[in-house]
Amino acid sequence: MVTERSDVTQILAEIFREHGYAGASLSEITNRTGLGKGSLYHLFPDGKEGMARAVLFEVADWFEENVFMPMRAPDNPDGGIDHMFTEVLRFFDTGRRTCLMGAFALDDARDRFPSEIQAYFLDWTRMLATALRRSGFEKNAAREAAEEVVAGIQGALVLARSLGDPAIFVRAIKRLRKRTGLDQQV
Amino acid sequence: MVTERSDVTQILAEIFREHGYAGASLSEITNRTGLGKGSLYHLFPDGKEGMARAVLFEVADWFEENVFMPMRAPDNPDGGIDHMFTEVLRFFDTGRRTCLMGAFALDDARDRFPSEIQAYFLDWTRMLATALRRSGFEKNAAREAAEEVVAGIQGALVLARSLGDPAIFVRAIKRLRKRTGLDQQV
DNA sequence: CTTGTTGTGTACCATTTGGTACAAATTAGC
DNA sequence: GCTAATTTGTACCAAATGGTACACAACAAG
């Protein structure tokens, strides 16, 4: 059996990504996890909302560890930014996977987890902006470029999913990576 | 009373935008439209799916008329592109409104209306790409720029909604408008 | 082996879901 | 003003929703 909370969270993330919050039914959750309601409500006493919250937390945690932390290294900011693109590409399965935060942002879940969603995007843009500054960007240019990159990633995920063409995401990453290069910073 | 199908479709669009497909309940639909189920199922014999389909069709139609058609004008392609940005800014209520197609793409609805969603984004990128070509862009550069613009718009809408800051969308439009200028076409 | 705790499955719950039936109201056409 | 068609509200439906109760299993500690 699954039994481990982190394993369950992984599956839950996948389900929420596919169906959004409202569309993720408990019946599908019990099916895909193989867990009865008893175990499920033992692991997540707050029910569906608790499950979603756990998933959101896990995603935020993953980004903190794998993207933000490396980006904070005061020396070698370019390395941190490059690393971000690599990890993001991997995280979204080269464009095959959708963004949970983005899905929730356009869904019922927005009203349920506004602060979590906001924090995710705020952290991301801020981290990237400061890294860009340290990499030589002027203050406003850094802020704007960070916004462009994060939005570009989200949009490319939407487009890739809509057209069923992950290559769109790969192209976007390449483009945005170039965008953060020092040649266009002004 | 409302009675007019187009009025109802307008309200339905708003509801689907706010809650996604799965999250839009018939009870809210009857409340917001003020129509009983009788009238609703008379107007849309296929129920909720029919309502969503009508809304999708209406959106596609709006874009066809207000964005694509002006963009097809063989002379003055720059005007068509400029016009697109203006209309898009207006359509999304300066960043306060979310994109229905994007919301559906990240939702259950994706499996229900794959061709409609695909057609929307495919039409948009293709129209824009040919306009950009006529405006002087090289073939591949035009394709790539179109992809960047459409993705950028979608991403900016996600970001603006997540952070509750419509200005993000306005900045993105300004940025992308510049991106389609002849100065960067390569 | 006993005991107490931690998990787990099943049956059940009220509520809500999307959808239907149908009679009454409204609106035509004449 | 009468009839026939179109609209509309209400009551109803089975199914599914998220959630709870609770008995039982696993398992550790003593």
Identify the band that residue B3 occupies on the pLDDT scale cut at 50, 70 and 90: low
What would the pLDDT profile of B34-70 be if each residue is shown by its tens digit?
Answer: 999 999 999 999 999 999 999 999 999 999 999 999 9
The amino acid at B95: G
Q: Which domain holds residue A98?
A: 54-184
Q: Which residues of B touch A121 (CB under 8 A)?
A: 159, 162-163
pLDDT at B114 over 60: yes
Better-scored residue on pLDDT, B153 or B182: B153
Q: Is residue B45 part of a domain?
A: no
**b vs e for A31-54, b when ≥16 Cβ sit within 10 Å of the residue's Cβ?**
ebbebeeebbbebbeeebeebbeb
**b vs e for B43-81, b when ≥16 Cβ sit within 10 Å of the residue's Cβ?**
bbeeebeebbebbbebbbeebeebbbebbeeeeebeebb
Question: CATH number for the domain including B79?
Answer: 1.10.357.10
The count of structural domains within chain A is: 1
Contact B150 A147 (CB under 8 A): no
Q: Which residues of A touch B175 (CB under 8 A)?
A: 144, 148
Better-scored residue on pLDDT, B125 or B184: B125
Q: Which residues of A touch B117 (CB under 8 A)?
A: 162
Q: Is residue A18 part of a domain?
A: no
Q: Is residue B47 part of a domain?
A: no
Q: Please say whether the beta carbons of B154 and A99 come within 8 A.
A: no
Contact B107 A106 (CB under 8 A): yes
Q: Is residue A134 part of a domain?
A: yes
Q: What's the rounded mean pLDDT across residues A102-109?
A: 94
Which nucleotide shows the minimum CA-to-C1' distance to residue B44? C19
pLDDT at B174 over 80: yes
Q: Looking at CA atoms only, how far is residue A174 from chain B in angstroms?
A: 11
Q: What percent of chain B has pLDDT over 90?
A: 89
What would the pLDDT profile of A112-156 be if each residue is shown by its tens digit?
Answer: 999 999 999 999 999 999 999 999 999 999 999 999 999 999 999
Q: Is residue A47 part of a domain?
A: no
Identify the band that residue A177 occupies on the pLDDT scale cut at 50, 70 and 90: very high
User: Using a 7 Å CB cut-off, which residues contact strand D?
Assistant: A 24-28, 37-38, 41, 47-49; B 1, 3, 34-39, 42-43
What would the pLDDT profile of A49-95 be if each residue is shown by its tens digit?
Answer: 999 999 999 999 999 999 999 999 888 888 999 999 999 999 999 99
What gap in Å lies between CA A165 and CA A100, rounded to an integer?
18
Write down the mean pLDDT value for chain B.
93
Q: Is residue B95 part of a domain?
A: yes
Most confident residue range from A33-37, B78-82, B114-118: B114-118
Q: Would you give the end-to-end CA distance of chain B in angstroms? A: 56
Q: Please say whether the beta carbons of A13 and A58 come within 8 A.
A: yes
pLDDT at A27 over 60: yes
User: CA–C1' distance A27–D18 (Å)?
Assistant: 10
Q: What is the DSSP string of A146-170?
A: HHHHHHHHHHHHHHHHHHT-THHHH
Nucleotides of D under 7 A from a protein CB: 7-11, 16-23
Distances (CA, A) of A91 to A66, B4, B146: 10, 47, 25
